[in-house]
């Protein structure tokens, strides 16, 4: 669930170790496992016996039942395309039983039932704050990006010098020139002869065949967009992937430089002080989340980070 939330953009990046070469779900997540251990020991020590944990356990189970029924109704309507009367009748039957259990356990909130509710609220705040922050960052990046035709025209009008070498810019955007390239060209006044906008994509299969590893699109003279696909058990190796791209016609030099954008989100000055805490929370999570570049086997001597402060 943690990995799926990360891939969907609902949870900060954490380090994950794949413990099985065949099973997608057999993973070890140090942060989650150690947090669960600490919470389990704390709850066992605080309550002292399983009888005293009944209130917390009952509230957690009954709440899960209600939410599962709500998700079932959503799937019946949106995925299975069931009519409203049919979906409402089935979900209503389950919901009548679930709400009876849930209402009964609300009487045990003060006896420990508040613990799963408080934990759920904390996770909800973290997930919604992270998702909103990621979407806000993506919108800012789209606003600062340029269409290839516009970018190449700006290169000519600004007399940007093309120098020997290969520059690889990691980006999540496709079909546009990402702001990290636009900003770099403007500030430095030059660009390498070969510029690659590189996007990493993860598939839900253990391994991706080498012939399906890269997808190449030429955006202009010396500009390429390369999408690299990896399976969930594979350790991403970008230099090796670029070797495959070189075989397919991308003029990648052996000593390529890798550029990655490190964003520093801050709150706008005119924002209401009462609503600055989501930005502060997102900024904290962004600074402490696992850096994606740590998993890509990029030589440290070839890595260059470009910092950018973004107001949200």
Residue 311, pLDDT score? 79
Cα separation, 243 vs 250, in Å, equals 9
Task: Please give the structure tokens belonging to residue 73.
Answer: 């109704």
Beta strand 161-170 with 190-202 is: parallel
Close Cβ partners of 312 (under 8 Å, ≥ 6 residues apart): 133, 136, 137, 140, 265, 266, 267, 268, 279, 282
Residue 294, pLDDT score? 67
pLDDT of 13-55, one tens digit each?
888 887 877 776 788 889 889 999 999 899 888 888 877 788 8
pLDDT of 184-223, one tens digit each?
888 888 899 899 999 888 777 778 888 888 898 888 888 8
Count of C-beta atoms within a 10 Å radius of residue 255: 10
Q: What is the DSSP letter of 96?
A: H
Predicted TM-score (pTM) of the model is 0.79
List per-residue pLDDT tens for the chain, 312 residues long. Answer: 887 788 778 888 888 887 877 776 788 889 889 999 999 899 888 888 877 788 888 899 999 999 999 999 999 999 899 999 999 999 999 999 999 999 988 888 888 889 999 999 999 999 999 999 988 888 888 888 888 888 988 888 888 888 888 999 988 887 788 888 988 888 888 899 899 999 888 777 778 888 888 898 888 888 899 999 888 777 788 888 888 888 878 887 777 888 888 888 888 877 777 778 888 899 899 888 877 666 777 888 888 888 778 877
Residue 76, pLDDT score? 95
Q: Look at residues 177, 189, 197 and name the one whose alpha carbon lies nearest to residue 259.
A: 197
């Amino acid at each position: 669930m943690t990995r799926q939330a990360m891939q969907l953009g609902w949870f900060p990046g954490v380090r994950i170790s794949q413990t099985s070469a065949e099973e997608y779900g057999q993973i070890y997540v140090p942060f989650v496992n150690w947090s669960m251990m600490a919470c389990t020991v704390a709850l066992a020590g605080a309550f002292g016996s399983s009888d005293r944990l009944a209130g917390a356990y009952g509230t957690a189970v009954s709440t899960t039942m209600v939410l599962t029924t709500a998700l079932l109704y959503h799937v019946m309507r949106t995925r299975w395309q069931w009519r409203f009367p049919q979906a409402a009748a089935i979900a209503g039957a389950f919901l009548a039983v679930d709400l009876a259990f849930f209402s009964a356990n609300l009487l045990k909130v003060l006896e420990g039932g508040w613990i799963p509710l408080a934990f759920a609220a904390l996770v909800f705040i973290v997930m919604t704050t992270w998702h909103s922050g990621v979407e806000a960052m993506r919108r800012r990046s789209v606003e600062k990006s340029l269409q290839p035709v516009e970018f190449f025209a700006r290169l000519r009008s600004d007399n940007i010098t093309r120098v020997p070498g290969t520059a690889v810019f990691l980006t999540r955007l496709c079909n546009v020139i990402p702001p990290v390239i636009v900003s770099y060209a403007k500030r430095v006044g030059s660009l390498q002869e070969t510029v690659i906008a590189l996007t990493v994509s993860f598939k839900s299969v253990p391994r991706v065949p080498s012939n399906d590893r890269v997808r190449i699109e030429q955006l202009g003279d010396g500009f390429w967009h390369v999408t690299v696909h990896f399976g969930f058990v594979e350790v991403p190796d970008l230099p090796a992937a670029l070797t495959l791209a070189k075989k397919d016609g991308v003029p990648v030099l052996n000593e390529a430089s890798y550029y990655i954008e490190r964003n520093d989100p801050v709150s706008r000055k005119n924002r209401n002080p009462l609503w600055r805490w989501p930005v502060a929370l997102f900024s904290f999570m962004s600074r402490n989340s696992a850096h994606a570049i740590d998993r890509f086997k990029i030589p440290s001597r070839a890595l260059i980070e470009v910092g950018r402060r973004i107001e949200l």
